[in-house]
Structure formats: structure tokens, C-alpha cells
Structure 1
Amino acid sequence: MPAKPGYKVLIVDDHQHNLFTLRTLIEKHLDAEVLEATCGREAIDSTLDQRDIDLIILDVQMPEMDGFQTASLLKLRKRTRDIPIIFLTAAFKSEEFQQRGFAVGAVDYLLKPIDDLLLINKISTYFRLIEKERGLNRTLEQKVAERTAELEREKQYSERIITHMGEALLVLNPQGEIKFANPAACAMLDYQSEDLIGMAIGDVFEEEGDEEAGAFMGTWLEALIRTGALSKIDARFIARDGSRVPILFSRTALLDPSGQISDIICIAKNMTGYTRVPEDQDQDPDALVPAEPAANQGDSKAIRV
């Protein structure tokens, strides 16, 4: 059964009539391109010029550099180490030489005179193995491409959510420096994203009490290490112009495999225009209501967060 096109075979022999016989045999029975080399050095040069050689048929007995030496050099190079090599020989027929051939990386060791049918079957077998490997590689490449596309879609989906979410999102390193800010955070603080990156959270954030605002990172980290998250608190963002933006703020720690904090995720909701319900009213103490509206704006409604 003829092999599929696209295979390339390098035949190496120092006798032209042997090269002619091999070429004629292969081209008659197999759909493959045949390259020729008349010595080991020429064979090595051919593998450097031709990057897609699938199989090498190598004569053992050659002057200057024999087949064993040639095969050893081919196996040393990353580009050629995996090319199957079939040894052909009329002189080195003993078990000792056959073992030597396999030791230097040959996949077969055939004796001359060549059995045409045996050689063609051998070559066909390796072509089928090569085609199977190519098929597996194509399948793997397709799966990698599909998974890469899937991850890209997931990334874009997450980025769209983060971009369009109404709450401000800041990601900090364990030292309290801003690593990422979403558009809502930039709008709330009146900074560009690149301006916020690298700033300390204390430059844009303060809690209700000055004593808390002065050393909150230590308190944060201790609490985050203990619990992994902190409840929502009343706080303020400090905008670029120094104005204060009231926010409802929460913090969550992300841990690395060793249990150390790798990132701190901060989410802030802009509470401008809202006031907390007094505790003596018959409502949830965590409920917030809009600030008193103008007379023509109608009744206000309690908002729970």
C-alpha cells in the first residue's frame, strides 16, 4: 500500500549503483521524495539543509566516516536525533555489529543483498508510525488551540465584567501597593489607571478613625491572614483633588500555594448621597437610605447593601 505523499527519505551509500537501486525501489513502490548522500559528512550536511527528513537509510561500510560514526553524530544533534535510521550492510553481518548498530540509535539493521519486499515493508511501517505521530501532534495542536481560544474567551469575558462593573476594584500586593484598578475605581478617584499603579493604598483611602487610617495595613494584614476577608466598612476614597468620596469597602486576601498572601482584592461601592439609618429606627441597622431629596423629587426609599 503506497504511503501518503509528504515523506522524505535520505539514502546514504558510497556506491552510485547502490544509490540508484535504492532510489528506483523506493520511487517505484512508495510516494516519497528521495535524497542522496555519498558519505557520512554529506549526509550530515543534508540533514542541516533539509529540516524535514523522515527516514535515513544508511550504509555501514563507508570510507573516512562509517555508518556507525555518522549515526552517532546524527543522534547528538537535537534536530536529527529522532530521525529513524535503517542500517544496510554487506560486510558487518555478525550479531556484534548488529548490536552496535542498535546501540548508536538504529531502528533496523538489514543485510545486503537487499530483500526488496522486506525493505519496502520496513519503510512503509515507519511511514505509518510517522503518520500516526503526525496525527497525534495535529490533534494535540488542535486541542491546544481550542483551549487557548477558550481561555482567551474567558479572559475577555472576565475583563468585560471588570470593565463594566459599577463598583471600584483595586488589586494590591501584600505591601499595599496598587497593582490594578478598574475603570470604576479610576472614575471614582479621578486618576488614570497608569497613575494609580504603584501608589500605596493609603494615598487614596482612609477609614473613619484617624488612628485606623494611620496604620491600617498592619491591621488589614493581620485580619486577612486570620480570616481571609474583612467585612464591609465605612471609609472614604481620597480623590486626586483631595475631596473625599464616601464608600462601602471590603477586602479579601488571595493566598499562594504556601499560604502566603499574594494579592489583596478591594471592592468599594460609592455611597455618595446615602446615609445610614439611625439605630433607634425600626430597620436593619445596616440599611442605608438616600440623603434627603429636594421637595420635587418625591419620596425616598430605603436601600439595603
Structure 2
Amino acid sequence: MNRYSGFTLLAVDDHEHNLFTLRTLLQQHMDVTILEATSGQQALDIALGDAHIDLIILDIQMPEMDGFQTASMLKIRKKTRDIPIIFLTAAFKTQEFQQKGYEVGAVDYLLKPIDDNQLINKISTYFRLIEKERDLNRELERKVAERTAELAQAKQHLENIINYMGEALLVLSPEGKIREVNPALRRMLGYSDEALLGMGIGDIFEEEGDEQAGAFMGTWLEALIRVGALKQIEARFIGHDGRRIPILFSRTAIKDDQGEISHILCIAKDMSGYVRQDTETTDGRSPGSGMHLE
């Protein structure tokens, strides 16, 4: 018999013959583990111990701690508050007592003498509900695990792209403080992560002319706010050893849900080995400039 195998039921009654009758009935119809307690305190000790209880069949009329008190104690404990409780009673038959049973957390209130089939059907109903809930939880856990794995894979893929990309990448705060960098930037400048993080972009960035450099966090940030991105800006990084490294620089503003800039992404291409070449028209005007390899 494998019906409801793996479930554990706690039967609580101060009369041994009642426990024997219930145990015999359950063993005829289902393959559940049956634990027994002859007092409310013993029931608490078992339920709060190492055993995992799926359902409790609880007699009401017991000395010292009756079934109502026992149920109340079970419902205030985190480990046992969600265990379904079925009350069985031959004495407390009025509507008032039944209402009290539901108020202390019982899912069912059955009066003795109880038809055997009725009791087995009741117990089976709760086990089926528990099985369904567990199946749903397992499915949810499976989906969460799959989604977590997908996100981890996507994160690793993005990290690989960032780590192996040839261009230097910086992530700045709206105030121009360096929050993240990639290996290409560290190699280009000769700094460690620890040295770079928290530095201001102005500490490693040199635009053409003091006026432009002084306006770094002014005019171009205003432009970012307006258009969201600035591309192909010719500038220079200042390396750890003081070298000036020519770069082509792009800046993109990342905004939050309120439309405020939360991050600034900067990508720089090392233009060392390239020289500026200005071309002139026949009338002497310069229509543009460009870079070519030396």
C-alpha cells in the first residue's frame, strides 16, 4: 500500500483505546506514519520536535491541557501554525463549541461516533490538498531555479563581453565618480581596481584646453541630460605614469524610473598609433579631420 506514503499524522487522545482504534483504521486505508500523544503537552513536544507533522487529529476532552488549549499553543508557534487540525469529540457537540474550535485554528470539527468512511475521506481530502500545494511549490521552485540559472548565465555572458572587450569601459555616478571599470581600462591606464574606484573622472581625463577640462562635469553633463548620449569625442586619458593617451570617447546616460540620471556609461577607444590628419579643399578651407595609422 502506497497511498499517502511519506505523510505523517499525529493522533492526540488521552484514552489509549481511542488511539488504537484510530491507528487500526488508518493503517487499513493508507500508508502514513502515525505518531501518538496521550496529552496536550506531549502533543506539543512531538510537534515542536524533529518530526515533520502533516496533519493532527486532536481530541478535545483531555485533562490538564484540553484540545482547545493545545490547538491554541500549536497555532502561535511558527513551526506548527500551518499544520491542519481536525478536532474529534464526543462531549463538546454544541454550535458554540464548534465555533470555538474553528476560532482556535481547526480546519474541521467532527463529532463522535464518526463514520469510518467519513473520517478517512476527510483525512484523504487534506492529504490531497497538501499534495497539490507541494506539487505547486515544487513547480514554482523549479521555475525559480531555471530563471535563476538563466539570469546567472546572462550575467556571466555580459561579464565576459565586458571583460574581454577591447575598448575601455567606465561606469560613473551622476557626479562623475568611478563606480566600475573593465580590464581594458585598467591595462590602458596602469591602475588597479582599488585605485580607480571612487576617483573622479576628471582625475584620469584630459580634454583639449583648460576651459574644456574645467567644464567636464558642467557642459557635457547638461548635454547628456538633453540628448542621452555623446559620441566620438576626441580626448585624452591620463595614465598612472602621467602618459597622455589619445582616445575616442562616448558617453551615455542611464536614467531611472523618475527620469533622473543614475549611471553614466563611458566607452573609450585607445587611439595611440593614430595621428590626426586634416584635409583642405582647394580654396584653403578645412571641411573636417580624421585619424589614420602612423
2:269 is aligned to 269
1:17 corresponds to: 17
- Separation in 2, partners of 1:41, 1:237: 75
Aligned residue in 1 for 2:288: 285
Counterpart amino acid of residue 249 in structure 1: F
TM-score (norm 2): 0.94
User: In structure 2, how many angstroms separate the alpha carbons of the residues matched to 1:99 and 1:122?
Assistant: 19
The answer as to whether partners of 2:278 and 2:290 remain within 8 angstroms in 1 is no
Would you say the 8 A contact 1:88–1:112 is kept in 2? Answer: yes
1:215, distance to aligned residue in structure 2 (A)? 3.5
Moved over 6 A (4+): none
- Structure 2 residue 117 is matched with structure 1 residue 114: no
* Structure 2 unaligned regions, length at least 5: none
Retained in 1: the 8 A contact 2:236–2:244? yes
Q: How does 1:229-244 map to 2 (within 5 A)?
A: 229-244=229-244
Structure 1: where are the runs of 5+ without partners?
292-305
The 2-side partners of 1:31 and 1:215 are apart by 79
Tell me by how many angstroms 1:59 deviates: 0.5
SS where residue 217 of structure 2 aligns?
Answer: helix
- The amino acid that maps onto 1:22 is L
Q: CA RMSD in A?
A: 1.8
Residues 276-296 of structure 1: per-residue CA shift (max 9 Å, x gap): 3414269983642212xxxxx
Spell out, residue by residue over 1:166-190, the C-alpha distance to the aligned partner (whole angstroms, 9 max, x if none): 1100001122111111011111111
- Using the TM superposition, give the Cα deviation of residue 115 of structure 1 relative to its aligned residue in structure 2, in angstroms: 1.6
**Secondary structure of the equivalent of 2:246?**
strand
Q: Show the counterpart of 1:136.
A: 136
The number of residue pairs the alignment matches comes to 291
Structure 1 residues 166 and 181: alpha-carbon distance in aligned structure 2, compared to 1, 3 A threshold: same
Q: Which amino acid aligns with 1:32?
A: V
Matches within 5 A, 1:23-172: 23-172=23-172
Q: Which residue of 2 aligns with 1:227?
A: 227
Q: What is the identity, as a one-letter code, of the residue corresponding to 2:208?
A: E
Point out the more displaced range, 152-161 or 71-80: 71-80
**Residues 194 and 139 of structure 1: CA distance in aligned 2, closer, same or farther (over 3 Å):** same
Separation in structure 2 between the aligned mates of residue 120 and residue 159 of structure 1, nearest angstrom: 57
Separation (CA, whole Å) in 2 of partners of 1:36 and 1:280: 99
- Supply the AA of the counterpart residue of 2:292: V
> Letter of the aligned partner of 1:216 in structure 2?
F
Query: What is the one-letter code of the residue matched to 2:35?
Result: L
**How far apart, CA to CA, are the structure 1 residues paired with 2:6 and 2:219?**
67
SS of aligned partner of 1:77: coil
Q: 1:33 to 1:226 in 2, by over 3 A?
A: same
* Alignment CA distance shift 1:25-1:50 (3 Å): farther
Q: Quote the offset at 1:147 in angstroms.
A: 0.4
* In 1: Cα distance, 2:139 partner to 2:176 partner: 45
Cα distance in structure 1, aligned partners of 2:55 and 2:221: 62
**Contact 2:68–2:104 at 8 Å: present in 1 too?**
yes
Could you give the per-residue CA deviations for residues 206-265 of structure 1, whole angstroms, max 9, x where no partner exists? 111211212411223322222222232111010000000000001111112222221111
Contact 1:173-1:264 at 8 Å conserved across structures: yes
